[in-house]
Amino acid sequence: MLTMISPIRFPLYVKSGTHCCFASASISEPQVLNGNPGGTVSSRQEIRLGLPSKGRMASDTLELLKDCQLSVKQVNPRQYVAHIPQLSNLEVWFQRPKDVVRKLLSGDLDLGIVGLDIVSEFGQGSEDLIIVHEALDYGDCRLSIAIPQYGIFENVNSLEELAKMPQWTEEKPLRVATGFTYLGPKFMKDNGIKHVAFSTADGALEAAPAMGIADAILDLVSSGTTLKENNLKEIEGGTVLESQAALVASRKSLISRTGVLETTHEMLERLEAHLRAMGQFTVTANMRGSSAEEVAERILSQPSLAGLQGPTVSPVFCKRDGKVSADYYAIVICVPKKALYKSIQQLRAIGGSGVLISPLTYIFDEETPRWRQLLSKLGL
C-alpha cells in the first residue's frame, strides 16, 4: 500500500488519486483495496507471471523470453492473458509495469518482469518482493534529478549546491515535478534536504521547468537527449537509482504456492544461460604443437585465452608416410565479446591460425549463482 508523504516537510500535490489505495477503518464506508485483500496466497492453481503490457519494456521482454526459448503465445494482441508452452501451469498476464508490482504485493501475481525503478517506487521496500534476477540487460536508465542549465541554476552543478541555494524556504520550497512520489521525497529526506515540494506528473516532465510549473524534475534518463533538448542538466549526487529490467517474485508465492519455486528455477536457469552466452563468442583455431599439454600451456600463458574452464584442445590427426600422427591441434575457447580482438592478437602471437568466431547461444553452468542467493533469501 502506498504511504502518503509527510505534508509538512514534503507537501505533495497529487494530480489524480488513481494510483493510491485506501483501506477505510469505518465499517459503514465502502472499502477500496488494490487487488486481493491482504495480499494473501489465494487458492488458485495456476502460476501467474506479469509482463509489461505497453511501453518500451513490453517488446524487449517478449524478445528476451523468446531468446530463452520461452516464447509467449498470445492469441490476440488485445488479450491480456497468454501462455508459455514450455512452462506448464503458467499464465502470463499483461499489465502496466506499476500494476505488475502492485499485483505481486496483493498476491494476484507470483512472478513479474519490470524495471528496478518501478520495483523500488511501487514496492516501497516491501519484504515480500524478492528480486530474483536484477540485471536482464535491457531497459537501462537512471532516475535522476535535473535542473535548468540557465538562469539561477547556471552555476549549480551538485545536489549540495542545489540544496544550499538561498531561494528555497519553508514558504517557497524547491518545486520538483516527478512520477516517483515515493522515491523522490525519500531521497530528499535521506540526503537531509529540506524545503522541497513534489508535484506529480505523468509524462513530458522535461517541459515543467520551462513552463514555470516546477524548478526541477526527477525523471528517468537514458541517453540524456531529452534533458539536453529541453535545456536541462543532471547534477552530481542527484542520481536516485540505476535501473534495468529485473525478474521479481512474491516471497509468499515462492514459499507457499505449489510449483512457483520450480518455475522460477527454470526461468532463472534459462535467463542466466542466455545472458551469459550473450557476452561471449566461441573461438576455434588451429595450432601446431608437440602435445596437447604443450599447446594448452601456451594458451594459458595468455591472459585473455583462459576460456570458461580452460581451453579444449583436440589433436587433429593426419597420415604421413603411412603413419598417423597429430602435428597440430584444434582449440576451442570462449572469449568475452569485449576482449575479442585482444584474444585474436594473443592467439596469433602463440601460433594460432585459421581462427573461426561463432556466436554462443547458451552457457549452462553447473548451478546458477542467483539460485543459491534466492534460496538463502528464502531461508531454504
Ligand X SMILES: O=P(O)(O)OC[C@H]1O[C@H](OP(=O)(O)OP(=O)(O)O)[C@H](O)[C@@H]1O
Ligand Y SMILES: Nc1ncnc2c1ncn2[C@@H]1O[C@H](COP(=O)(O)OP(=O)(O)OP(=O)(O)O)[C@@H](O)[C@H]1O
**Which parts of this chain interact with ligand Y (CB under 6 A)?**
55-57, 96-97, 115, 117-118, 139-141, 203, 220, 222, 243
Q: Cβ closer to ligand Y: 64 or 331?
A: 64
**Maximum pairwise Cα distance, the chain:** 101
Q: Does 28 bind ligand X (CB under 6 A)?
A: no
Q: Which of 68-76, 143-151, 182-190, 222-230 is the region at the interface with ligand X (rule: CB under 6 A)? A: 222-230
Partners of 114 in beta bridges: 246
Please, what is the minimum distance in Å from the beta carbon of residue 118 to ligand Y?
A: 5
Please, what is the minimum distance in Å from the beta carbon of residue 60 to ligand X?
A: 13
Report what 224 binds from ligand X, ligand Y, none; CB cut-off 5-8 Å by kind. Answer: ligand X
Report what 312 binds from ligand X, ligand Y, none; CB cut-off 5-8 Å by kind. Answer: none
Which long-range contacts does 115-118 make (Cβ < 8 Å, 24+ apart)? Answer: 115/57, 115/139, 115/141, 115/243, 115/244, 115/245, 115/246, 116/241, 116/242, 116/243, 116/244, 116/245, 116/246, 117/141, 117/143, 117/180, 117/183, 117/220, 117/241, 117/243
Among residues 72, 46, 59, 70, which one has the least CA distance to residue 138?
Answer: 59
Among 226, 239, 282, 373, binds ligand X (CB under 6 A): 226
Q: Are strands 90-95 and 111-115 parallel, antiparallel or unpaired?
A: unpaired
Q: What is the C-alpha to C-alpha distance for residues 121 and 43, in angstroms, rounded to an integer?
A: 28
Q: Does 15 bind ligand X (CB under 6 A)?
A: no
As a residue count, the chain comes to 380
Report what 204 binds from ligand Y, ligand X, none; CB cut-off 5-8 Å by kind. Answer: ligand X
Applying the rule CB under 6 A, the residues between 139 and 158 that interact with ligand X are none
Query: Are 222 and 140 spatial neighbours (Cβ–Cβ below 8 Å)?
Result: yes
Per-state percent for the chain, helix, strand, coil, to nearest 5: 30, 30, 40
Binding pattern for the stretch 176-205 against ligand X, x by CB under 6 A and - elsewhere: ---------------------------xx-
Report what 243 binds from ligand X, ligand Y, none; CB cut-off 5-8 Å by kind. Answer: ligand Y
Q: What is the C-alpha to C-alpha distance for residues 205 and 215, in angstroms, rounded to an integer?
A: 11
Q: Cβ closer to ligand X: 28 or 225?
A: 225
Counts of helices then strands in the chain (DSSP H, E):
12, 16
Please, what is the minimum distance in Å from the beta carbon of residue 194 to ligand X?
A: 27
Query: Are 317 and 325 spatial neighbours (Cβ–Cβ below 8 Å)?
Result: yes
Q: Does 222 bind ligand X (CB under 6 A)?
A: yes
Query: Are 48 and 110 spatial neighbours (Cβ–Cβ below 8 Å)?
Result: yes
Q: Does 219 bind ligand X (CB under 6 A)?
A: yes
Please, what is the minimum distance in Å from the beta carbon of residue 50 to ligand Y?
A: 13
Strand ranges of the sheet holding 141-148, from the earlier edge strand across to the other edge: 12-13, 196-200, 174-178, 216-221, 141-148, 232-243
Q: Which of 7-15, 215-223, 245-253, 365-373 is the region at the interface with ligand X (rule: CB under 6 A)? A: 215-223
Q: Which of 7-15, 64-72, 224-232, 294-302 is the region at the interface with ligand X (rule: CB under 6 A)? A: 224-232
What phi and psi values does residue 172 have, to the nearest 5 degrees? -130, 80
Return the C-alpha cell found at 176.
520538483
Q: Does 360 bind ligand X (CB under 6 A)?
A: no
Cβ contacts of 375 within 8 Å, gap of 6 or more: none
Q: Does 351 bind ligand X (CB under 6 A)?
A: no
Does the CA dihedral 184-189-193-194 come out positive or negative?
positive
Please, what is the minimum distance in Å from the beta carbon of residue 226 to ligand Y?
A: 7
Q: Does 211 bind ligand X (CB under 6 A)?
A: no
Q: Does 224 bind ligand X (CB under 6 A)?
A: yes
Q: Cβ closer to ligand X: 220 or 326?
A: 220
Q: Cβ closer to ligand X: 11 or 224?
A: 224
Among 21, 58, 220, 360, binds ligand X (CB under 6 A): 220
What phi and psi values does residue 361 have, to the nearest 5 degrees? -100, -50
Q: Which of 58-66, 182-190, 217-225, 256-264 is the region at the interface with ligand X (rule: CB under 6 A)? A: 217-225
Binding site for ligand X (CB under 6 A): 203-204, 206, 219-226
